């Protein structure tokens, strides 16, 4: 597989009507074989971006490629699987028919799509319901069929918009495992989800969108690097020499002092521990702390004055298109 | 090709899942079965076991073949297929585009490697599947029932399949357009029926005005003939002292010339007809398309000649015009039949192409 990005987007812009700027120059890249998570508050432009990739929405401006071809190149979509948010498959079809139909629409031959449909029904645990009409399915079952139809064409890239929506905890775990299996098979997965804890478990890279722009982009470990620290709780008040230590903050509460050392290297805190021990201070606990994806997300959506970004795109001032 | 077949297969499944499809098919079968119950004999027609004496009988020149062609055309096609089955067809298919482009349904399809315009056209073609199946069942059924019952096999009636599908496609283009624009099944259905009604009004107005145009032509011709006769009578007066006769003929000529001038100058009907005709030219000709079926299946010379001895149009001595309505109707009918199938179908297809093209353009440009 080529090492060039599967998705490479630059300056994606979209304004709905004349005033609502859904995307304001998004830059993004997704490498082959990784699970990529797209996060953001409601109205940040995530679904719009996904729909532009899938040619459902026409951008006002876009540069870049999908699977090495310009965005909007229809034939390359034969190598993409897509599960939209709030999907609605015709309820007169059975689960098996939905998967086969999706395969046929990508131009797959009957024998292949039928074989894949049987295999995928097994994989998503829907074999026993395969020939029942969709109107008798629960939300979770529909989601499983949706996932199967997105995989029927053996795509290189699978784009999933809220794939665990309506799925019970057991089902979520199964879907999570499935995504990891797909990644191990070399598939690239583009996930759009609100469930940060789940994304944290499966994503190699994330991008956080806020008001139509990418606010953060990278591996979770890299993005949380600055937040990594060690918290050392010590009995008693803080010694004077702490004031001279770099990257350290100290706070005292109820005869307990918390020393926070901004580093992800355990070696760097050893001299401090040695000194505390030499002064016969009681160390209550030492906790390595790393910002969670949720913390990261909240940091991205919180403005400097502490207000959290509300839903919706940016409303342009004045008249006319940008 | 795989994608096109998949879309048609999906359309069939959609129809199959709808009760109204099977209900309409059942009614179609009943209409076909009705052909089994009627027949023609020497004094009239027979319905099941009851004989009803009517002027339509074999003694008055009605052949069995003509009788069945006529009921196939007038009851089967003109009433059942072009009204009842078409309305049921529109009810069944009006939801195709609004449901197709609703949120959640269209995203998956648009993300497939198929162009939007091709997708639109294929979906449009699948919408015609309903009427194609209905009219095929009806025509094949009629062909078999009439053939088995009377021994008369009429393969010519199979022309009904493309003609009725063509007729339905004019309306379905409008329905698809409103479906794409409004995204609402009810709105698409009601607006299509409203447009159909408007087209019907234009067609009826055109036919009605054509009657008056023909009436006026007959009137002018009658005045011209009477004027000519009066002039000939004037020239034939031999006695130069017969002042009363001279005076009468001069006055008659003066009145006829005045009548003729007035008739020639009153071109309001002709002008209105021309305007309506212009409008009709750009609209789909639903009635005329169905009439083509009659033109192509029934030989007019087969029809029994009725009452050829009606009085010709004339002008009374008081100057009143007495028209020959039968002659006007015949002339009108000739006029309508002289309109070429190319003009009828060609201009209607141009309308369909325009409406479909516009709907397709909107479909392609829209964000979903």
> What's the pLDDT tens digit per position in B229-287?
888 888 887 777 778 878 888 888 888 888 888 888 888 888 999 999 999 999 999 99
Are residue B136 and residue B244 in the same domain, yes or no? Answer: no
Are residue A18 and residue A130 in the same domain, yes or no? Answer: yes
Distance of CA B243 to the CA centre of its chain: 58
Q: Dump pLDDT digits (tens) for A97-142.
A: 999 999 999 999 999 999 999 999 999 989 999 999 999 998 889 9
The helix or strand, by DSSP H or E, that contains position B94, with its residue range, turns out to be none
Helix (H, G, I), strand (E, B) or coil at B180: helix
What global pTM score does this model have?
0.81
Are residue A67 and residue A197 in the same domain, yes or no? Answer: yes
Contacts of B9 in chain A (CB under 8 A): 101, 104
Within a domain: A168: yes
Domain span including residue A56: 7-223
**Boundary (domain end) residue, out of A188, A223, A258:** A223
Contact (CB<8Å) A93/B2: no
Nearest CB to B111 within list A55, A93, A107 = A55
Contact (CB<8Å) A76/B113: yes
Q: How confident is the model at residue B356 (pLDDT cuts 50, 70, 90)?
A: very high
- Do the strands A61-66 and A69-70 form a parallel or antiparallel pair, or are they unpaired? antiparallel
Within a domain: A129: yes
pLDDT of B302 higher than 70: no
Are residue A207 and residue A271 in the same domain, yes or no? Answer: no
How close B349 comes to chain A (CA, Å)?
29
Are residue B182 and residue B300 in the same domain, yes or no? Answer: no
> In a mutagenesis test of the B interface, which of A45, A81, A105, A190 is the best target, namely the one with the most B β-carbons within 10 Å?
A105
Give the per-residue pLDDT at A319: 47
B175-to-A233, B16, B117, B171, B351 alpha-carbon distances in Å: 74, 21, 17, 6, 13
Are residue A152 and residue A243 in the same domain, yes or no? Answer: no
ipTM reported for the complex, 2 dp: 0.80
Distance of CA B226 to the CA centre of its chain: 37
**Boundary (domain end) residue, out of A172, A204, A223:** A223
Q: CATH code at A243?
A: 3.30.70
Q: Dump pLDDT digits (tens) for B203-239.
A: 999 999 999 999 988 888 888 888 888 888 888 877 7
Of the listed ranges A140-144, A266-270, B61-65, B98-102, the least confidently predicted one is B61-65
Whether residue B19 lies within 8 A of chain A, CB to CB, comes out as no
Which residues of A lie inside 8 Å of B (Cβ-Cβ)?
16, 51, 54-58, 74-78, 80, 82-84, 86-90, 92-93, 97, 101-102, 104-110, 149, 159
Contact (CB<8Å) B113/A77: yes
Are residue B49 and residue B149 in the same domain, yes or no? Answer: yes
How close A115 comes to chain B (CA, Å)?
16
- Do the strands A314-315 and A20-30 form a parallel or antiparallel pair, or are they unpaired? antiparallel
Domain span including residue B34: 2-201+341-365
B96-to-A118, B124, B169, B184 alpha-carbon distances in Å: 29, 9, 14, 10
Are residue B182 and residue B269 in the same domain, yes or no? Answer: no
pLDDT of A255 higher than 70: yes
> In a mutagenesis test of the A interface, which of B6, B21, B99, B365 is the best target, namely the one with the most A β-carbons within 10 Å?
B6
Are residue A177 and residue A262 in the same domain, yes or no? Answer: no
Contact (CB<8Å) A87/B108: yes
Within a domain: A319: no
* Total domain count, chain A: 2
Cβ atoms of A302 and A310 within 8 Å: the answer is no
Give the per-residue pLDDT at B337: 87
Are residue A65 and residue A197 in the same domain, yes or no? Answer: yes
Are residue A242 and residue A210 in the same domain, yes or no? Answer: no
Contact (CB<8Å) B6/A104: yes
Nearest CB to B111 within list A82, A92, A107 = A82
The chain B residue lying nearest A76, using CA atoms, is B113
Within a domain: A311: no
Are residue B154 and residue B233 in the same domain, yes or no? Answer: no
**Boundary (domain end) residue, out of A223, A238, A260:** A223
Are residue B307 and residue B354 in the same domain, yes or no? Answer: no
* Total domain count, chain B: 2
Q: Which two tokens stand for residue A119?
A: 């295999």
Are residue A213 and residue A255 in the same domain, yes or no? Answer: no
Within a domain: A294: no
Give the per-residue pLDDT at A227: 78
Are residue A167 and residue A125 in the same domain, yes or no? Answer: yes
The chain A residue lying nearest B105, using CA atoms, is A88
Work out whether the CA dihedral B13, A162, A204, A56 comes out positive or negative: positive
Are residue A218 and residue A234 in the same domain, yes or no? Answer: no
Cβ atoms of A162 and B107 within 8 Å: the answer is no
Are residue A169 and residue A110 in the same domain, yes or no? Answer: yes
Q: CATH code at A147?
A: 3.40.50.300
Helix (H, G, I), strand (E, B) or coil at A81: strand
> If you search the block for the tokens 């017969």, which residue do you land on?
B242
Q: For the residues A23-36, what does the mean pLDDT come to? A: 93
Contacts of A78 in chain B (CB under 8 A): 112-113
The DSSP result for B68-113, as a single string, is HHHHIIIIIIIIIIIIIHHHHHHHHHTTHHHHHTSTTTHHHHHTSS
């Amino acid at each position: 597989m080529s090492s060039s990005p599967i998705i490479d987007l630059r300056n994606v812009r979209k304004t709905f009507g004349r005033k609502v700027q859904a995307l304001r120059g998004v830059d993004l890249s997704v490498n082959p074989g990784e699970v990529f998570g797209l996060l953001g508050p409601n109205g940040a432009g995530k679904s719009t971006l996904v729909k532009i990739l899938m040619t459902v929405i026409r951008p006002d401006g876009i540069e870049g490629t999908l699977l090495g071809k310009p965005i909007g190149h229809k034939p390359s979509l034969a190598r993409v699987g897509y599960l939209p948010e709030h999907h609605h498959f015709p309820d007169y079809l059975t689960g098996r028919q939905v998967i086969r139909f999706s395969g046929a629409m990508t131009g797959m031959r009957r024998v292949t799509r039928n074989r894949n449909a049987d295999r995928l029904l097994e994989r998503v645990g829907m074999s026993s319901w395969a020939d029942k009409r969709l109107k008798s399915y629960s939300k979770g079952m529909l989601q499983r069929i949706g996932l199967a139809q997105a995989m029927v064409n053996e795509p290189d890239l699978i784009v999933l918009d809220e794939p665990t929506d309506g799925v019970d905890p057991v089902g979520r775990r199964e879907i999570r495992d499935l995504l990891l299996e797909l990644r191990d098979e070399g598939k690239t997965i583009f996930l759009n989800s609100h469930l940060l804890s789940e994304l944290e478990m499966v994503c190699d890279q994330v991008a956080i969108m806020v008001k139509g722009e990418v606010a953060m982009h990278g591996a979770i470990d890299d993005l949380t690097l600055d937040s990594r620290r060690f918290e050392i709780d010590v009995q008693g008040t803080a010694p004077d020499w702490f004031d001279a230590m770099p990257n350290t903050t100290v706070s005292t509460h109820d005869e307990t002092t918390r020393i926070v050392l901004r580093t992800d290297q355990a070696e760097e805190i050893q001299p401090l521990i040695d000194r505390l021990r030499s002064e016969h201070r009681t160390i209550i606990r030492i906790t390595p702390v790393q910002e969670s994806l949720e913390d990261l997300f909240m940091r991205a959506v919180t403005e400097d004055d502490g207000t959290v970004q509300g839903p919706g795109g940016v409303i342009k001032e004045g008249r006319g298109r940008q | 090709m795989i994608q096109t077949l998949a879309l048609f297969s999906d359309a069939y499944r959609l129809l199959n899942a709808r009760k109204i499809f099977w209900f309409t098919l059942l009614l179609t079968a009943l209409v076909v079965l009705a052909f089994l119950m009627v027949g023609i004999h020497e004094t009239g027609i027979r319905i099941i076991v009851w004989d009803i004496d009517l002027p339509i009988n074999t003694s008055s020149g009605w052949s069995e073949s003509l009788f069945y062609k006529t009921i196939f055309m007038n009851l089967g096609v003109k009433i059942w297929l072009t009204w009842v089955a078409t309305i049921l067809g529109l009810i069944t298919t009006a939801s195709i585009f609004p449901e197709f482009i609703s949120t959640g349904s269209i995203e998956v399809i648009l993300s497939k490697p198929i162009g939007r315009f091709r997708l639109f056209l294929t979906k449009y073609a699948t919408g015609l599947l309903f009427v194609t199946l209905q009219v095929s069942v009806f025509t094949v059924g009629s062909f078999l029932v009439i053939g088995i019952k009377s021994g008369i096999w009429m393969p010519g009636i199979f022309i009904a399949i493309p003609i009725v599908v063509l007729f339905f496609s004019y309306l379905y283009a409008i329905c698809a357009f409103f479906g794409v624009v409004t995204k609402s099944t009810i709105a698409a259905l009601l607006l299509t029926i409203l447009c159909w009604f408007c087209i019907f009004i234009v067609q009826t107005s055109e036919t009605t005005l054509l009657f008056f145009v023909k009436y006026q032509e007959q009137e002018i011709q009658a005045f011209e003939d009477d004027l000519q006769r009066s002039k000939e009578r004037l020239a034939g007066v031999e006695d130069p002292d017969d002042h009363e006769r001279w005076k009468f003929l001069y006055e008659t000529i003066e009145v006829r010339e005045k009548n003729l001038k007035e008739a020639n100058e009153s071109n309001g009907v002709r002008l209105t007809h021309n305007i309506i005709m212009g409008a009709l030219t750009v609209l789909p000709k639903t009635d005329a398309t169905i009439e083509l079926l009659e033109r192509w299946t029934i030989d007019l010379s087969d029809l029994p000649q009725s009452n050829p001895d009606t009085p010709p149009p004339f002008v009374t001595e008081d100057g009143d015009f007495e028209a020959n309505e039968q002659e006007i109707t015949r002339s009108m009918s000739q006029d309508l039949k002289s309109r070429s199938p190319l003009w009828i179908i060609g201009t209607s297809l141009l309308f369909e192409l325009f409406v479909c093209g516009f709907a397709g353009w909107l479909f392609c440009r829209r964000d979903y």
